[in-house]
Structure 1
């Protein structure tokens, strides 16, 4: 079996109800991500946590040094787990993630986190393009409602559309229960 790593993307306070970018069904995603994190810990897999940070005004989302950049306690890393800051949706861009995975001999990645339509999408596509086997745990990801040209798209539809697009060619998209074999 190929060596696998878990990438936990941006499960941060900014996405909670009191944050600047609250996501729908975040509690469910965090609870499922925690189950995946616990299983990866039990299996001795490499776990890489990401924290999005944005330089600039303290009023902006993910402003460096604010509570919004902190990782949600239920998904927080433990001693020995890698935490990387990122400044772009793609967790591979300017972070050293690829070198870290390659140095560890990782062939497959599992991705959980936020937001389905941004960082999960960008990171999944990059992982695929770099040649990793990619699994996205759909119910361990969350997003928000969007709108375009007057069309309102509910969060559930945004999430489903992005999971379907990723499953079409870039990743195996599974539930937490399917991943864990429950």
Structure 2
């Protein structure tokens, strides 16, 4: 039994061009995520999908019971893989994620998904706080251009900043091909 798990965070239709919150290079990130997922399955790692959904049916994004909240076809779960629905950026907050990981004896997690600067970051930091060894696959994650105080921050800069912060103290940050080769 493997003590490793892959956490696939929010690779949902809402983030693709047909959705309401399209991310920069989401298709490329999803293609890489699909490769990581296939490799994790081959390695018999636990694969857990996270799906963000707002608690209100009036929400402007991630509205319950809409196509936007569905996991994208490129990374669909297969039979036996858990799907955890969350309402906050941190995939552990008020969900069964930690319980699922602990039940499987997981000690190490790999995190991929969307958005780099929000839910991926929050999930990685929480995983470390709970004592899991953490790896983030940077090219299987995506984000969007941000704005703060009149300054636009290109998605590539936001992504790089978050990955640098994660790598600084929260765990290893590697690319898809390096992760697969292990």
TM-score tier, shorter chain, comes to: over 0.9
Within a 5 Å distance, the mapping from 1:94-113 to structure 2 comes to 94-113=94-113
Q: Is the 8 A contact 1:5 1:48 kept in 2?
A: yes
Within a 5 Å distance, the mapping from 1:109-128 to structure 2 comes to 109-128=109-128
Shift of 1:58: 4.5
Q: Is the 8 A contact 1:113 1:140 kept in 2?
A: yes
Give the secondary structure class of the aligned counterpart of 2:123. Answer: helix
* Cα deviation code 1:137-165 (max 9, x no counterpart): 00000000001001110000000000000
Q: Which runs of 4+ in 1 moved over 3 A?
A: none
Within a 5 Å distance, the mapping from 1:1-182 to structure 2 comes to 3-58=3-58, 60-181=60-181
Unaligned runs of 5+ in 1: none
Shift of 1:57: 4.0
Query: Distance in 2 between the 1:84 and 1:48 partners?
Result: 7
Q: Which TM-score applies when normalising by structure 1?
A: 0.97
Unaligned runs of 5+ in 2: none
Q: Which TM-score applies when normalising by structure 2?
A: 0.97
**Number of positions where the alignment pairs a residue of Structure 1 with one of Structure 2:** 182
Structure 1 vs Structure 2 CA RMSD:
1.4
Give the secondary structure class of the aligned counterpart of 1:22. Answer: coil
Q: Is the 8 A contact 1:2 1:107 kept in 2?
A: no
* Cα deviation code 1:89-139 (max 9, x no counterpart): 000011111111111110000000000000000000000011100000000
